[in-house]
Amino acid sequence: MSILTRFLRRMVVRAAREAVRNRGLVAILVVALAGLLAVSTLNVLGLPSTDGSSPSVGSYQATALSEPSATASYIRGHQTFDATLIWQAYSDRVVRDLQQRGASVDDFQVELEQARQQGNRVEQAQYVGGYSIPSGSMHFYVVVQAGQSRGQIAYVPYVFTLDAGGKIERVEY
């Protein structure tokens, strides 16, 4: 018998003796193992599927009570190609800045229509969570976008910075 085999055998025997002495520890380990097994097999945490199936079109819904209405409106506007929903989600400062640069809701609508004609669309969006900052809050999403060619899917992280009034100050993706 090799030294490694004897060592492993002794470790197993010692672990078994300790388990018999400390039945409470064994019970905790069994419950923890059962919980881990349940979470992994039942997908209790709601982790995304890895089976390669594509998400269904138009599957965005507000997913949490803490999800801001401005970000939900922005995502829904991109999904339904509605520039008014997007424009109304912006803060007054952002709207002023856009107007000073010559942008309008109608310009946004034209850009959205071009995106629709090119086959670009938001397939799905998932609100991840938010974080308070001194000037407002930040909110995080994962957005599934479909491109021009069939089957071209991109998972894009979006970060929204909201002002104290809950309106969008900045969008990063």
For residue 140, tell me if it sits in a domain: yes
Question: Do 35 and 112 belong to one domain?
Answer: no
Question: Do 25 and 93 belong to one domain?
Answer: no
Question: Do 34 and 73 belong to one domain?
Answer: no
pLDDT tens track for 56-110: 445 445 555 689 999 999 999 999 999 999 999 999 999 999 999 999 999 999 9
Question: Do 76 and 11 belong to one domain?
Answer: no
Residues 164, 173: Cα–Cα separation, whole Å = 21
Residues 6+ apart with CB under 8 A from 112: 78, 81, 82, 83
Structural domain boundaries enclosing 153: 69-172
Question: Do 94 and 155 belong to one domain?
Answer: yes
pLDDT tens track for 114-146: 999 999 999 999 999 999 999 999 999 999 999
For residue 98, tell me if it sits in a domain: yes
Counting other chains too, the contacts that 67-72 makes at CB distance below 8 Å and 24 or more residues apart are 67/127, 67/130, 67/139, 68/130, 68/137, 68/139, 68/160, 68/162, 68/166, 69/166, 70/160, 70/162, 70/166, 70/167, 70/168, 71/127, 71/139, 71/141, 71/160, 71/162, 71/168, 72/127
The answer to whether residues 90 and 98 touch, using CB atoms and an 8 Å cutoff, is yes
Which residue, among 75, 49, 51, has the nearest Cα to 62 in the 3D structure?
75
pLDDT in the model for residue 56:
44
pLDDT in the model for residue 143:
96
Which DSSP helix (H) or strand (E) runs through 33? helix 23-42
Question: Do 75 and 159 belong to one domain?
Answer: yes
How many domains, the chain? 2
